[in-house]
Amino acid sequence: MWADEELARRALAKIKGPNGKAPRTAEEMEAARDYVKKEVLKNIYGTLPPKPDRIHADEMSRDVSFCAGKADLVVYNLVSEYPDKVFSFPLRVVIPKTGTPCPAFVHINFRPNVPDRYQLTEEIVDRGYAVLSFCYEEVATDDGNFRSACGKYLSNGRRRADATGKIAMWAWAAMRVMDYIETIPDLIDKDEVAVIGHSRLGKTALLTGAMDERFRYVISNDSGCSGAAITKGKIGETQKKITTTFPFWFCPRYIKKGQSDGYTEVDQHFLAALIPPRHLMVGSAVEDTWSDPDSEYLNVYKTNEIYRLYGMTGLVTDGERPVCPLTLSDGDAHYHLRYGAHYFSREDWNIYIDYIDACRKKKEEKSR
């Protein structure tokens, strides 16, 4: 089949544990998990900032008539406290007034707007989901400035080969939102939380979910190079191109390797392998050749090797090259390819919610 042949042609490095061997069981994969995390961070995104000693949310404003009164829109200042520093960023929280804990999205967004063209908030609320969002640049600016916003506290300099990149900073913030969710279990079902993002923030969502097992669903929309797409053999954006344009997203080791026309063996399938036994969800757009839908699909397909270790089905597919329109949602991983260009659309949101609804229904049926 095409997928197996293509993966064999690209000859991707095997996922290995600290003993140098590929895991053959779920137990061996769990034993290798921390090692694989470290490999991903030191070779691609840089050191992850540590978890704060304490977090708390200070209410800044509340709109009780939001979504025709179906939900409040509350803006908090989410504060992280460390022994030697304190810093914060705005968090916008919308929770349906259902009377019971509801599933939720942690949305890493490009703008502070609620709703937003990438966040159809009322539709999300109408389907019974909460959405907690933050603007990524309110955490760390999307440029080479490591001394603005929270970036000045999260940065460990740029001299070390594994110095923290901006994607790791934004992922750190998404994890702090999950810390907050755990403080309000009467409103949100903390076992049914998804982290979601688009483009560079789809890369961020993948890193967040790979590093933090508290997220049951990890959703990456059109994230392409250094995100959901396997880098080796990729068309469109390459490691050299992305590290030339956006070097500040990554650690210096990844930049140096990309600029030398090299290839980082710790490719994106290492990142995706950290999602099972939870649900990996990837969306592509047929006109988004810069991201390369084929390489995004191949990465989800390759995670089947890891899902099998847990006795799960992973992506249910015949392995043929994806043809638009396509939605593969019968297994424990999800992939879809829609018409159109690089965008986070209503269609994408509804496809993701449909899949999570189906997963939740299966979970409820198993518990009966």
Report the alpha-carbon angle 318-321-322, nearest 5.
Answer: 90
Distance (Å, whole) CA 244 – CA 14: 27
According to the model, what pLDDT value does residue 154 have?
79
Residues annotated as part of the active site: 199, 342
Asked if the peptide bond before residue 115 counts as cis, ω within 30 degrees of 0, the response is yes
Which portions of the chain are predicted below pLDDT 50?
A: none
According to the model, what pLDDT value does residue 222 have?
98
According to the model, what pLDDT value does residue 259 have?
86
pTM of the model: 0.97
pLDDT tens digits, residue range 307-359? 999 999 999 999 999 999 999 999 999 999 999 999 999 999 999 999 999 99
**Encoded tokens for 95:** 């929770």
According to the model, what pLDDT value does residue 84 have?
87
According to the model, what pLDDT value does residue 155 have?
73
According to the model, what pLDDT value does residue 217 have?
98
Buried b (16+ CB within 10 A) or exposed e, 174-189: bbbbbbbbeeeeebbb
Who's near 60: CB < 8 A, 6+ residues apart? 75, 76, 77, 90
